[in-house]
Amino acid sequence: MGTLLACAARRLNEPAVRSLDTGADWRGLAASLEAGPATAAVPLAIDAPEPLAYAAHAIAALAAGRDLLLCHPHWTAAERAAAEVLRTAPAGQGADLAPPASPVVQGADLAFSPDNPSRAATPRILIATGGSGGVLRFATHSPATLTAAAEALQTFCGGGPLNSLCLLPLHHISGFQQLVRALATGGELALADWRRLAAGNLPVLPTVTGGWMLSLVPTQLARLLDQPAGATWLRGFALILLGGAPAGAALLDCARAERLPLAIAYGASEFAAALAVQPPAEFLAGESGLRPLPGAAVRILNPDTNTPLAAGNLGRIEVASPALFLGYWPEPRLPGPLRTDDLGRLDAAGRLLVVGRADAAINTGGEKVHPAEVEHALRATGAFSEVVVLGLPDPRWGESVAAAFPADDAPDLAAVERTLRATLSPHKLPRRWYPIAAWPRTAQGKTDRAALRRAVDTAP
């Protein structure tokens, strides 16, 4: 049934997952679910609002070898409608896996389509990706791809169990993969409410073999460092993975000054979370660049010709790994490497520098400008906590480069422009600046680019 499924079945009666807020573990919940219907042909939609119940439903489904659909407990009506693609999977490819309607049904059994009564030999784990600011899609993984990602990080960390304090939602790959790592490596998963930590209630973690890992997005790291005891608490972790969004230079400098064991990570739902990670020692030494995890490979391609570029050149990131997803439901992915929508470059040592998204290039006066490249240069100045570069209609140039940033940053734009001229060609420099009073964010703390674009379009 696969390594992950065997581990899940073996650990049903162990307190491998516990809530630090309540002191409860998952054993009672998982056992009751295990005793219920476990027909192989019935997939399970996980939609429990409480994280411990969410984890218990997932472990019971994995132990029974069933397909999983990881639902957001609070999907909007539009996102639930987008999930209707699961109802229309072609015969022989998919299941009737529409997410449960409100009120939320926890652990609802959803029957297969009559056209496809038999299940696949290998269970599938469907993970929503996209959502607000993009089209909701479902990345399909298998126990093998998720286990490969967990084992790659385990090797990167020197072996031993991977124990995680999870502050991220389990319906996202960044949270769910922490559960997978614990199961696959014999580790533990501790669940805690981020709101309690943000309010200053920093939990004391039990002693475990190998210490504890923590995964954060930059806004969470900034909030914790603002607390009087935050830096001391963070230094107690063996490893702190930082990803989900670009981190500003000032935040990274602060983390380095506090000697935090930070490991900047590049990941995605399609990679089963982290694919390339910077070792903490290199971060603390002030070096840049991420190292592909064991088993993964990275190339940089010319965005126009899709041919490989030499070290130092900016291009589209292509990745290969046994942890790559199987496709977007219900379509399978073509075998081989995955050409991403991200821009980056490799240094002479093979380390990856991720610049940002390869959004549609801005055409200004006949010259192409990649927004991600300009955003990277702006973040490097240390003047911005957040920054987004946009192409706006321009009667003379066709499009002009514009930059939006939180109004509270109050940067010295003249000084910023002098710094940029040393690293960017003149046509790449922002011509228009937009301070945004209320910086829009998604529920996961990332910049909501669609809402930001609307704010810029309506600005005076």
**pLDDT-above-90 percentage for the chain:** 60
- Report domain extents, the chain: 3-143, 144-318+340-357, 362-457
Confidence of residue 406 (pLDDT cuts 50, 70, 90): very high
pLDDT (tens digit, 9 = 90+) per residue, 343-367?
999 999 999 999 888 877 898 988 8
- Judge whether residue 98 has pLDDT over 60: no
Higher pLDDT, 23 or 2: 23
Q: Which CATH class is domain 362-457?
A: alpha beta
According to the model, what pLDDT value does residue 136 have?
A: 73
- Judge whether residue 137 has pLDDT over 60: yes
- Judge whether residue 60 has pLDDT over 90: no
Confidence of residue 304 (pLDDT cuts 50, 70, 90): confident
Confidence of residue 299 (pLDDT cuts 50, 70, 90): very high
Instruction: Label residue 158 left, alpha or beta by phi (over 0 means left) and psi (-120 to 50 means alpha).
Output: left
Confidence of residue 249 (pLDDT cuts 50, 70, 90): confident
According to the model, what pLDDT value does residue 388 have?
A: 95
Q: SS3 letters for the chain?
A: CCHHHHHHHHCCCCCCEEECCCCCECHHHHHHHHCCCCCCCCCEEECCCCHHHHHHHHHHHHHCCCCEEECCCCCCHHHHHHHHHHHHCCCCCCCCCCCCCCCCCCCEECCCCCCCCCCCCCCCEEEEECCCCCCCEEEEECHHHHHHHHHHHHHHCCCCCCEEEECCCCCCHHHHHHHHHHHHHCCCEEECCHHHHHCCCCCCCCCCCCCEEEEECHHHHHHHHCCCCHHHHHCCCCEEEECCCCCCHHHHHHHHHCCCCEEEEEEEHHHCEEEEECCHHHHHCCCCCEEECCCCEEEEECCCCCCECCCCCCEEEEEECCCCCCEECCCCCCCCCEEEEEEEEECCCCCEEEEEECCCCEEECCEEECHHHHHHHHHHCCCCCCCEEEEEEECCCEEEEEEEEEHHHCCCHHHHHHHHCCCCCHHHCCCEEEEECCCCECCCCCECHHHHHHHHHCCC
pLDDT (tens digit, 9 = 90+) per residue, 70-93?
888 877 666 666 665 554 443 333
Q: 402: which strand partners?
A: 390, 432
Backbone angles phi, psi at 420, to 5 degrees: -65, -35
> In angstroms, what CA-CA distances link 331 with 42, 44, 67, 91?
20, 20, 16, 12
Confidence of residue 449 (pLDDT cuts 50, 70, 90): confident
253 close to 379: Cβ distance less than 8 angstroms:
no
pLDDT (tens digit, 9 = 90+) per residue, 262-296?
999 999 999 999 999 999 999 999 999 999 999 99
75 close to 99: Cβ distance less than 8 angstroms:
yes
Considering the chain, what is the average pLDDT of its residues? 84
- Judge whether residue 207 has pLDDT over 80: yes
Confidence of residue 213 (pLDDT cuts 50, 70, 90): very high
CATH of 144-318+340-357, one of 3.40.50.12780, 3.30.1330.10, 3.10.620.30, 3.40.50.150: 3.40.50.12780
Confidence of residue 247 (pLDDT cuts 50, 70, 90): confident
Stretch 163-191: mean pLDDT = 95
